[in-house]
Amino acid sequence: MKPVSNEFGEWIKGQRFTVFLAIFCAILPLLINPFVRLLGTPHFLSIIAKDDYLGMYIYDICNIMFIVAGLLVVTSSNFLLNSKDYDKAERLTRYVQDKFGSGSSLYLEGREALYQRMSKGCKQFYYSWVVVWIVWLILYIGKLIFIIRMDHFSYSPGLNSIDLYKIQGLFENICNLINSGAFFFIYLVITISTVKQAVPNHSLKEMHRYIIILLFLGLVCILFDFNALFVDGSKSYYLWELVIQLIISLIASISMIAVVGRLNSSFMDIPQWMILSLYLYAALQMFYPLGLLNQYVSNEMVDDSSVVALQSALDIIYKGFYFCAFLGKICMLLTIKWIMSNNRFLFYSTHIAQVLAESEDMMKEFNRYYERSR
């Protein structure tokens, strides 16, 4: 049997299909407009979509393809622990005893209690990521449906294009807020699974307070977004929506940064370039309102040379943003798969739990030695 390598570079060579699919999906939408300008819209594509919507179709379809592949990658991983596997519970307890000693906090917690806690943490971590990818899938399927509706049925009675755009904006904002909530839950899972819950912890209470505040902000955003559906005048709507999307993008960025910060541990053995890529992906969430700004410039501003130049610049930035977002998604997917392989999350949870359980005593002991040595 071939030994499992802990070298990220060697491991990633086996993920060539995932990497290729992500890069292909990232580049393809960027090539559509130059292709159409150079050769014209192919007949089979002109039947499906008008020129104005063709790039949107391709982009959303590429997103759906990649997210489905990512979801299959995540769900196919052999990650979950069987909480009733007493043999593995015994092995984990023996490892804790040999590594940390019979007097360690983890060992004294008891075999079943410790394994149950670790099993629960792994399960919550796994299903939280599944939720993230499913919400992404729903988001892009929904966007594709809205584009089809606006492209082929824009003149049907009932809803005009601005009404559809408002509903689409509300739908996207809700999906993004749900995903931010899932990321915050992942952060909580990583934190709580490594802390013995019977022990009162002031930092945990403080963290819960901040989570409640952020979730409250999300709820307020949704309520304001519902109200934006009834705002008269497209300019007022764009201004209203811009403020809402800025708040949502801030929440999304904070939630991702919180998760990446927790994953940045030597016990995970994630390369620093990958961690930096994930931080950049988290920072990219702040550019979420670019789409709205681009739409406002296209629809509301008078066409002159300066506006055309601004629109072209925004279009380039917007495409660059989505290209980088695709690269961010592949970094996220590879990181998740890396964590879920080779019992890495269980190893991380076990060691961090031990460190956190005894950190206060270790600090006291350190200061006792340090102060005495002076």
* SS3 state at 4: coil
5 domain-assigned = no
Domain range for 258 is 12-368
* SS3 state at 357: helix
Average pLDDT, the chain: 76
Helices 111-152 and 161-192, axial angle in degrees (round to 10): 170
223 domain-assigned = yes
Among left, alpha and beta (phi > 0; psi -120 to 50; other), residue 264 is beta
251 domain-assigned = yes
Neighbours of 278 (CB within 10 A): 23
259 domain-assigned = yes
CA atoms within 13 A on the CB side of 181: 15
Mean pLDDT computed over 165-181: 86
The pair of three-digit structure tokens given for residue 49, joined into one six-digit string: 């979509």
Domain count for the chain: 1
- Assign 3-state DSSP to the chain and report helix, strand, coil percentages, each to 5: 80, 0, 20
187 domain-assigned = yes
Give 128-160 pLDDT, tens digit per residue.
899 999 999 999 899 888 877 766 555 455 555
Give 217-260 pLDDT, tens digit per residue.
778 878 887 877 777 666 777 778 888 888 888 888 998 998 99
Q: Could you tell me which residue, 175 or 150, shows the higher pLDDT?
A: 175
297 domain-assigned = yes
What is the percent of the chain where pLDDT is above 70? 71
Q: Taking the model in full, what pTM does it have?
A: 0.79
Neighbours of 351 (CB within 10 A): 18
